[in-house]
Amino acid sequence: MEILLVPNELLRQKANRLINITSEDIKIANQMMETMIKAPGVGLAANQVGILKQIITINFEDKENDKRANYILFNPSIIEYSEEKVIMEEGCLSLPEQYANIERPKKIILQYIDENQKNIKKEIDGYEARILQHEIDHLSGILFVDYLSSLKRNIIIKKVKKLKNL
């Protein structure tokens, strides 16, 4: 699988909800996980590999809070956001070597379907909540640079285009 880079138009498309999770969808998710880990990244949305399905893979280690996670989400949605917000630096595999401070809610309540067809609902905070908000944005065609001023966003996109041409 190849990770698409800005300005690929598939990154701006909305991913489709899955009616049924098939063995093909699970195979795609496992390939996404391999691609993400190899990149290396902490999260990957299916749009980023040119597949318009609501699939996300997560793999991170948060040494500060002694937490690690590795899982797949189908049809993820955030059903509640905390009022408290935090600013953290974000980057993206589709915008290599580009980082910016982004403000997002500190906690979320998330629901999704796992690879065993189980409905999961849980409260998540910190670094993991940040990753999930970033990846769920991808499924709606939203990039982290969309939270920046148009000037900053355009500078970052130009840098990515330049990197691609090297």
Ordered DSSP codes for 66-127: TEEEEEEEEEEEEEEE-S-EEEEEEEETTEEEEEEEEEEESEEEEEEE-TTS-EEEEEEEHH
Distance CA 23, CA 112 (A): 17
Pairwise CA distance, residues 75 & 2, whole Å: 22
Contact 102, 88 (CB under 8 A): yes
Q: How far apart are the first and last CA of the chain?
A: 21
Q: Determine whether 61 is an active site residue.
A: no
Catalytic member of 9, 24, 61, 135: 135
Residues with catalytic annotation? 135
